[in-house]
Structure 1
């Protein structure tokens, strides 16, 4: 029996692109390649397509994939196959999926980065553990979320933009609004908050947490502000959707209980009659998007095989 063609997987975030190839009968993920996004102000996405094609060539190393999957951040319309809006990448109604598929000559599945990663978490990671409504929140360069009613994802273009809801203390955002959650509670927002308070730049939120643990007042203030803002947003989510399980992923989730424990306390202090949801860390880590992309590519491959046999 001939070996099945590999699957090309591309997960684009606000800052980085992760790429991998899934090979073998079980389509195991190979080593992930990570590159910084070079195209931040190209509304058409042409520059991004060029970078993705180069990354695909690098990770495939001469192999030809049977199918591919691409994940993009922001508002995506999977039916129209458009990147509708991405504040961090500058995309506006960009036909990135079809342009990349044509460039590579490979059928390509398309999904939202956070939504697809969240589906992977429910399928192969933290799971829903019997919850009626699960909210998966990814906190990295930006903040986004995906809601599931039991096992069904709320998959509507624009749904889950938790990072762009207004919160107390929120600042001017790259999306054009003022007050957005991610301006103070994303990993980048926490680092910027510390710099505003202390006058000292830091590489990221990890360093802010380390300084907070050492008793730095500016770091403590920046971290506490982020936690309170997240609790504010989650309070609305619980009241609106009846969320009873929250899965926290993304780079900031690497802080573990240093983030989750105060977040539980801050949310509990805000809730009155509404039950406190379970708040747990994601389990798939930085590969969640690639795992989700693999699921998309497998579904596309099965659909193509069914068409061929019909």
Structure 2
């Protein structure tokens, strides 16, 4: 049986068709439809007509109530209270699993990625345009619409965590076009880049430390664009998190294995779960 996974981003939709064994049968990208969410339903319908599948897994960004099938808010898409599952299900003839992109990425990383085999709590932190997290406890991704949204917490000095600890915020504070450029400048010893980098690491470490203390995370998987910096990010971040936890056990911080494909892989897993058990989890 084949399944289609669809990851809807702010600008790009990633799609992937996989077989029973997880082998990739087809994959492509196309611009995210703008305006009416019904356009997304048309995109998914056309994909299933082009490549017949037995189920679809669809994940979207933002605050998502997976059980109700509703996207409560997705700023990048201009959505609020959109019944995504109902809209898309009506346009396809196969079962549809619906989820949130970061939680789907977490599912991919604990099933087949950097945290595969872990029996203890895991935090998946996606550090990209914004900052969002997903928590995995007892092998299950917590599916509350509000769970893991560490980037939205207000800092005591004002502003939200993701306004300092994200790839886009880092570039803005360093006066650079993107986070990749900031990383290159950090390696070259640029003062402004170093200052912005250290502040980003500090705030991110505080968020991870608080989450670890609350849930007992043994592993933190760092994904998103900023994770591409590798040891330049993970080494100081590991030190800062450990320093804040005191006598508590520090988690192992690892780079996401699936990179920017984590969410679409997670979408295919949701579809496979739906076929196997009747539950997309």
- TM-score (ref. length: structure 1): 0.81
Superposed structure 1 runs of 4+ greater than 6 Å apart: none
RMSD over aligned Cα atoms: 2.3
State whether structure 2 residue 42 is matched by structure 1 residue 53.
yes
State the partner residue of 1:173. Answer: none
Structure 1: gaps (5+ residues): 171-178, 196-200, 305-310
Deviation of 1:32 after TM superposition, in Å, equals 3.3
Aligned to 2:21: 26
Deviation at 1:161, TM superposition (A): 0.6
**1:13 and 2:13 correspond:** no
- Cα deviations across residues 52-89 of structure 1 (Å, max 9, x unaligned)? 633763x5572333221110112211221100122332
C-alpha deviation, 1:35, in angstroms: 3.3
Pairs within 5 Å for 1:159-198 = 159-167=147-155, 179-195=159-175
Determine if contact 1:130/1:150 at 8 Å carries over to the other structure: no
Residue 148 of structure 2: SS of its match in structure 1? coil
**SS across alignment from 2:52:** coil
* Greater RCO, 1 or 2 (C-alpha within 8 Å, sep 6+): 2
Q: Counterpart in 1 of 2:57?
A: 69
Q: Deviations over 1:1-54 (max 9, x none)?
A: xxx4x322111234432112224x424224532334353xx5xxxx24314633
Aligned equivalents of 2:16, 2:161: Cα separation in 1: 31
Aligned partners of 2:15 and 2:88: how far apart in 1?
Answer: 14
Per-residue CA deviations over 1:215-247 (Å, capped at 9, x if unaligned) read 221111121111111011112112222222211
Compare CA radii of gyration and give the structure with the larger one: 1
1:307 corresponds in structure 2 to none
1-side partners of 2:221 and 2:140: how far apart? 15
On the 8 A contact 2:41/2:91 being kept in 1, the answer is no
Contact 1:146 1:153 in 2 (8 A): yes
The secondary structure found in structure 1 opposite 2:164 is: helix
Of 199, 218, 223, which residue of structure 2 is paired with 1:249? 223
CA displacement, residues 123-159 of structure 1 (integer Å, 9 cap, x when unaligned) = 1112265453211111122211112223233221211
Classify the secondary structure of the residue corresponding to 1:215.
coil
